[in-house]
Amino acid sequence: MKNFLHNLIARRDEEGASAVEYGLLVAGIAALIVVVVFAFGGMIKNVFQDTHDTINACTASGGATSASCQ
């Protein structure tokens, strides 16, 4: 019986990654994406808002009155 248990344990094949390992990898990547979005989200929003405001100001003024419209 002891030999049977030893052979059963010794024959485990651990060459490939299991689904659990792939799941942990995907969870880690998802967590990294969430952190990056929260870290840089405000900065990116401000860049787009500034661009939007500039386009609106240039359109409303005819486009030639400000140096930022050229």
Domain limits, the chain: 22-54
When pLDDT is cut at 50, 70 and 90, the band that residue 53 belongs to is very high
**Alpha-carbon torsion 42, 48, 50, 56, what sign?**
negative
pLDDT digits (tens, 9 = 90+) for 9-36: 766 666 667 888 999 999 999 999 999 9
When pLDDT is cut at 50, 70 and 90, the band that residue 61 belongs to is confident
* 61 Cβ neighbours under 8 A, 6+ residues apart: 69
- Looking at every residue in the chain, the average pLDDT score rounds to 82
pLDDT for residue 2: 76
pLDDT for residue 6: 73
Q: What whole-number distance in Å separates Cα of residue 18 and Cα of residue 43?
A: 39
